[in-house]
Amino acid sequence: MEIELFDFMEARIMFGLDVDFDRDRTTLSFDSSYGVHGRIKAKRAAISFKPRPAG
C-alpha cells in the first residue's frame, strides 16, 4: 500500500475521486477544494460514504 496526502487539515471537502485499475493494484486519486488531496495505491480498496442531510 502507498499513501500520499497533501495539505491535510481537520476540515476536509473532497472535490473529485478518480479510480484507476491496473494489473497489480487500484489507485484512488482525489482532489480537494479544501483540506486534503492525494493518492492511495493498494491491491484492494473499498469506498463507502454517508451523506449528511442538507441544512
Q: Which domain holds residue 18?
A: 2-42
The secondary structure of the chain as a DSSP string is: -EEEEES--SS-EEEEEEEEE-SS-EEEEEEEEES-EEEEEES-------PPPP-
**Please, are residues 5 and 36 in contact by the beta-carbon 8 Å criterion?**
yes
Q: What is the pLDDT of residue 43?
A: 93
Residue with cell 473499498: 46
pTM for the full predicted model = 0.68
**Does pLDDT of 8 surpass 80?**
no
Q: Work out the average pLDDT over 7-36.
A: 84
Q: Is residue 48 part of a domain?
A: no
Helix ranges, the chain (H): none
Q: Is residue 6 part of a domain?
A: yes
Q: How far is Cα 51 from Cα 13, in angstroms, rounded to an integer?
A: 12
Q: Specify the number of domains making up the chain.
A: 1
Q: Is residue 47 part of a domain?
A: no
